[in-house]
Structure 1
């Protein structure tokens, strides 16, 4: 134990004052929220996307570049300076689920439906796609979409109920059958277990080939069931959803203005 004079006491008081002030300020700083810049996770360094397979010519591993929409998506982000855009392949149902949950940065190509608009943000349209009602020649021929009233329509899991198809199913005027993929739909159609398959022409022809079926055994109604735009989408809960969509749209506009978009899309007939 020792004694101090007045000057020492003043110094000790000053040091204590500084110490307690620092502690209080540190406590306030710890309690205050930290503002992290929106670009703290730089997507331009790495972006992870997902799409489904066997949807020619738009998304298909058998095509150069993974299909024409896969190529458009890559080129759009390239145009905006993204350096590493990786695309993984999953079932359509699983890929959309991963996108909604934010486990990937986006997916494609998708058409708009009321239910999807609640879950994902949509880009500007990339291209348009028509789907038709297919029938097996040996069973029953359909001349008009009205002939599908009361029929069973095959539409694989993960495929949206678009246009007139959606109206038929929503009103109960047709019944949906949903196997895992389109080739199974055509196997069911050939066996007479469904009345019609809803599919765009390229996807239908590809499915017939995969199922070992002849295109000569099938035909489709001349009038389309739907003619819908296809989009790139991002889950609404993704922390950078708005930025990703904005960048994609800007890149897509660059491709359109340069003529590159038309060049890519014209590689296939659909």
Structure 2
């Protein structure tokens, strides 16, 4: 088999097996394959591809990370790349030359598997002191603008009128320190239900008095609202801007060094304008 034919087969093999690689990675992989064939003519094509693939993996490690099933617009299969947070995390990992497989899990399982080392990391999560006992948190990848809502036909016309009332929160959602400040400020009692949709239904049925919502949500499209005769009313005052993070276990090898590198790459896409492009893309889609 002549070398031109071998190179053509290498290209075909790479096209089939490197759909998630960058163009740069593809060229590097091809370079090492050709280098092995030219300098080690006794090796077969399969052996050459194996050696080149091993070298590529050494230069570009692969990890498995997890996120939850839905948290729009940060995790949303109806949005580009699966959501705002996914786009940012993917760009950061590209900067680090790290290939990642993203799997979707229940939120509590994503954290559990991260702590146990079954997956490398997960996102996007709010910080809490309890979580920080076992996890390292990146710099914020997104921020959630938080507002309070009530049933439109309720007696509550101001935030102050909700003092000592019942606030609904999903079971698997950890209150950030900023959200705890809201609860404490208005001396509210917390009711827990399955998820955010459940909270809206709880409020509409009068079982809770209020809930918290991020301002990127289009209320008119919420199934919980569409199924009811009444709507929810969102107060105009923003109560908090809650940061979301990428997290990894403290027990992992070189975990602090790794999260530091993640933060450096995140700062890099901040400074070179790439993050602003991603942010603006999603803001336009949501307006």
Sort the Cα spacing of 1:258 and 1:171 in 2 relative to 1 into closer, same or farther, 3 A.
closer
Sort the Cα spacing of 1:78 and 1:157 in 2 relative to 1 into closer, same or farther, 3 A.
same
Task: Determine the C-alpha separation between the residues in 2 that align with 1:87 and 1:205.
Answer: 28
Sort the Cα spacing of 1:226 and 1:263 in 2 relative to 1 into closer, same or farther, 3 A.
same
- Among 197, 200, 209, the alignment partner of 2:223 is 209
| 1:109 alignment counterpart | 124
Q: Which has the larger radius of gyration?
A: 1
Work out whether 1:255 is the aligned partner of 2:256: no
| 1:54 alignment counterpart | 70
- Structure with more contact order per residue of length (Cα contacts < 8 Å, sep ≥ 6): 1
Task: Determine the C-alpha separation between the residues in 1 that align with 2:229 and 2:273.
Answer: 34
Q: Are the equivalent residues in 1 in contact too, given 2:128–2:177 (CA < 8 A)?
A: no
Task: Determine the C-alpha separation between the residues in 1 that align with 2:187 and 2:268.
Answer: 44
How far is the alpha carbon of 1:188 from its aligned partner?
1.3
How far is the alpha carbon of 1:240 from its aligned partner?
3.6
- Among 94, 97, 101, the alignment partner of 1:81 is 97
- Among 256, 261, 270, the alignment partner of 1:242 is 256
| 1:127 alignment counterpart | 142
Unmatched segments (≥5 aa) in structure 2? 1-56
Q: Are the equivalent residues in 1 in contact too, given 2:122–2:246 (CA < 8 A)?
A: yes
How many residues align structurally? 228
- The range that moved more, 229-238 or 70-79, is 229-238
- Among 189, 194, 197, the alignment partner of 1:183 is 197
Task: Determine the C-alpha separation between the residues in 2 that align with 1:198 and 1:179.
Answer: 13
Select the structure that is richer in helix. Answer: 2
- Among 140, 151, 168, the alignment partner of 1:154 is 168
Sort the Cα spacing of 1:64 and 1:200 in 2 relative to 1 into closer, same or farther, 3 A.
same
* 1:112-136 Cα deviation digits (max 9, x unpaired): 2222222211112223222111111
How far is the alpha carbon of 1:46 from its aligned partner?
1.5
What TM-score, normalized to structure 2?
0.70
